[in-house]
Amino acid sequence: MQRIGVIGAGAWGTALAMAAARAGRQVVLQAREPEVVDSITQHGENSLFLPGIPLDPAIRATADLAEAAAVDAVLLVTPAQHLRAACRSLKPLLSPTVPVVICAKGIEIDTGDLMSEAAKAELGNQPLAVLSGPTFAAEVAKGLPTAVTLAIEDADLGRQLLAALGGRTFRPYLSDDLIGAQVGGAVKNVLAIACGIVHGRALGDNARAALITRGLAEIARLGVTLGARPETLMGLSGLGDLTLTCSSLQSRNMSLGAALGQGRRLEEVLGERRSVAEGVYTARAVTKLAAAKGVDMPLCQAVDALLNHGADLEAMIDGLMARPFKPEGL
């Protein structure tokens, strides 16, 4: 696999393009925004989404989806709620053997589908993989050490993708648990908003540690119900991603929560940003999915109530702390 197409030139797509280029691949990075294509082509930098980081000159930016699809493997790095539409556009452009690696983290609001389910509905028998794990885009783009999960059912194809994307500072680990690799990456964004609120309200490190731990229990309950393996949820795409995203204001979701905890309005904070905080959308989606599956996820439900249903922040915190005492394993 020498030619890699990256669909979506936000911060994460740009960072993955850098990782693939460092691995020696020929990379085509597709962007919807003409100004992003111009910035990369003329200045060697994605000044809109990843400013200040020089890009490998071998990365070719384009607005042409067909050009980015005429490759040996595609990395799909669109926002989660737009992934289905992107797959629909890609379908007629792809060779049937080209693997599509899903790099978006989320759950569809309208359907409750994981990203792989939405992609399969549009792409049919196209080979699918999921790449997820504890990753800040800027650190990957700079070549700082990073490890991720690459989940795919076809082990031989998975090993080819490992060889194509892995390098000295970007280390993928192979899995065949696509569901587990997605649940952790989606739900952790919701929990990161909650941890940001803890930070913004100065509720302390004890509260943040408790929230991470009880949040992991919610991830595990939902994941196992959907068919994930518990060990996947304790790995890079579960515990690893949760720990990173809930521990640093580099996280878009945690920084959003911190602003809310300081009393700012959601619309105001979102209006200042170009990048997507996926947890805002996933909070609604995961709450609906959990209700449909009969899974208890009080932290995610509380974040959804705050973001999408006008709940009072203090009442939300008081409600969580007033829940009945119970054994830890429940």
User: What residue ranges define each of the domains in the chain, with the CATH number in brackets?
Assistant: 3-176 (3.40.50.720), 179-321 (1.10.1040.10)
d(Cα 327, Cα 330) in Å, to the nearest integer?
Answer: 6
* Each residue's pLDDT tens digit, 208-231: 999 999 999 999 999 999 999 999
Residue 311 has pLDDT above 90, yes or no: yes
* Each residue's pLDDT tens digit, 124-176: 999 999 999 999 999 999 999 999 999 999 999 999 999 999 999 999 999 99
Read off φ and ψ for residue 101, nearest 5 degrees. Answer: -100, 115
Read off φ and ψ for residue 163, nearest 5 degrees. Answer: -65, -35
Model pLDDT, residue 76: 98
What DSSP designation does 74 have?
Answer: E
* Each residue's pLDDT tens digit, 42-100: 999 999 999 999 999 999 999 999 999 999 999 999 999 999 999 999 999 999 999 99
Q: Which of 120, 142, 188, 288 is catalytic?
A: 188
Check if the beta carbon of residue 41 is closer than 8 Å to that of residue 22.
Answer: no
d(Cα 316, Cα 314) in Å, to the nearest integer?
Answer: 5
The β-bridge partners of 73 are: 4
Q: Which two tokens stand for residue 39?
A: 């910035």
Percent of all residues in the chain with a pLDDT value above 70, rounded to a whole number: 100
Model pLDDT, residue 117: 98
Q: Which two tokens stand for residue 75?
A: 């990395």
pTM of the model: 0.95
DSSP string, 187-241: HHHHHHHHHHHHHHTT--HHHHHHHHHHHHHHHHHHHHHHT--HHHHTSIIIIIH
- 27-58 core/surface letters (b: 16 or more CB in 10 A; e: else): bbbbbeeeebbebbeeeeebebbbeebebeee
d(Cα 21, Cα 56) in Å, to the nearest integer?
Answer: 7
The residue among 60, 59, 68, 76 whose CA lies nearest residue 21 is 59
The reply to whether 188 belongs to the active site is yes
Task: Give the SS3 label for residue 274.
Answer: coil
Check if the beta carbon of residue 318 is closer than 8 Å to that of residue 250.
Answer: no
| H or E element at residue 305 | helix 298-308
Model pLDDT, residue 276: 76
Task: Give the SS3 label for residue 131.
Answer: strand
What DSSP designation does 118 have?
Answer: H
Length of the chain: 330
Read off φ and ψ for residue 23, nearest 5 degrees. Answer: -80, 0
d(Cα 104, Cα 77) in Å, to the nearest integer?
Answer: 5
Residue 330 has pLDDT above 90, yes or no: no
CA 330 to chain centre: 27
Place of tokens 């042409």: 64
* Mean pLDDT score across all residues of the chain: 96
